[in-house]
Amino acid sequence: MKTLTLAAFAALTPMAALAHDGMHINDAYVRSTNPKVGAVFLQLENHRQVPCTLKSVSTAAAERAELHTHLEEDGVMKMGAIEGGIPVEAGQSHDLARGGDHIMLLGLTEPLNDGDSLTLTLDFGDCGTEEADAVVDNQRAEGAGAPAAPAEDPHANH
């Protein structure tokens, strides 16, 4: 009877209901060559029918996780916190990449070594939360899924 019930449920459930309709986090990795700070890079992919905004990030691996970006001021690239979050339009993606938007991990609870993994909780406000695992990859070459960082990038060694 259970087999028949499950088969009937599967036949009556639309395939769209089984598809992921939230936020996807792709290709998350961390660089950390300093025992106190690290930077997370990833791709946000919005599978919802409404815009979603990454409001905050948390992890047990750091005292604080902040949304940061790089801005050019007087010909010099400077890093600063992002106010209001990182918006991702419906059906679109947004890269958090070296030399651009990224997540800073401040006050690491312990040094991160290549191959370590940490769990991130990304808060998208009304769009909910998503968890993602990010692997520490200090050897990852620039351009491997992310644009190259400017020469003045203070995170080039993260």
Q: Is 49 part of a structural domain of the chain?
A: yes
Q: Is 152 part of a structural domain of the chain?
A: no
Half-sphere exposure of 116 (CA within 13 A, CB side): 15
Tokens 């990038």 correspond to 153
Structural domain span for residue 76: 21-136
What predicted TM-score, i.e. pTM, was given to this entire model?
Answer: 0.77
Q: Is 13 part of a structural domain of the chain?
A: no
Across 86-102, average pLDDT: 96
Give residue 143's pLDDT: 58
Q: Is 37 part of a structural domain of the chain?
A: yes
Q: Could you tell me what percentage of the chain is helix, strand and coil, using 3-state DSSP and rounding each to the nearest 5?
A: 10, 45, 40
Query: Which residues 6+ apart lie within 8 Å of 86 measured at CB?
Result: 44, 53, 54, 67, 94, 96, 101
Q: Is 98 part of a structural domain of the chain?
A: yes
Give residue 154's pLDDT: 42
Q: Is 96 part of a structural domain of the chain?
A: yes
* DSSP summary character for residue 127: G
CATH number at residue 106: 2.60.40.1890
pLDDT digits (tens, 9 = 90+) for 32-87: 979 999 999 999 999 999 999 999 999 999 999 999 998 888 888 888 999 999 99
Per the structure, how many domains does the chain have? 1
Give residue 149's pLDDT: 38
Assign residue 27 a region: left if phi > 0, alpha if psi is -120 to 50, beta otherwise? left
Give residue 14's pLDDT: 46
